Amino acid sequence: MNKEWQISSAYYAMYFSLYAIFMRVGIKCEIHACSIEIMKKILTDYFSSEEIILLQKSLTARIDSQYYTDRTVEEEQRIVMVKNAPKFHLKCKEITIMLTAKEIITIRKIITNSFSLSL
């Protein structure tokens, strides 16, 4: 199996799993780095620092493998991504199912207060 494809597939499996949580909460954020930043700043009750780092490193690996011919992704990183993508997906699915209406309202308020622009 193509290693570049594995890296890309593992990353997108994790990213879209996170995005499913955003959809449940009512957030539209299509900039991957911003999605990870929201995860890091607002969803810390749901994700460990290791999971956040995993997604950050996976984004970097995907970019390096798909866009740069002079960059390589360490084999260990690829293995970690492929191994952990299914676990990450299941965790996101659990979070999506378990989120209460109260938690969703709280998350939306935090995002509104954090990112509102004063004009």
Please report the DSSP string for the chain in residue order.
Answer: --HHHHHHHHHHHHHHHHHHHHHHHT-----HHHHHHHHHHH-TTTS-HHHHHHHHHHHHHHHHHHH-TT----HHHHHHHHHHHHHHHHHHHHHHHH--HHHHHHHHHHHHHHHPPP-
**Nearest CA to 66 among 1, 8, 6?**
8
Report the CATH number that the domain containing residue 51 is assigned in CATH: 1.20.120.330
Domain that holds residue 20: 3-115
pLDDT tens digits, the chain, 119 residues: what are they?
Answer: 699 999 999 999 999 999 999 999 999 988 999 999 999 999 999 999 999 999 999 999 999 898 877 788 899 999 999 999 999 999 999 999 999 999 999 999 998 888 665 44
Q: What is the pTM of this model?
A: 0.90
pLDDT at 119 (0 to 100): 42
pLDDT at 113 (0 to 100): 86
Residue whose token pair is 């299914």? 86
pLDDT at 116 (0 to 100): 61
pLDDT at 1 (0 to 100): 67
pLDDT in tens, 16-30: 999 999 999 999 988
How many domains does the chain divide into? 1
Contact call for residues 83 and 43 (beta carbons, < 8 A): no
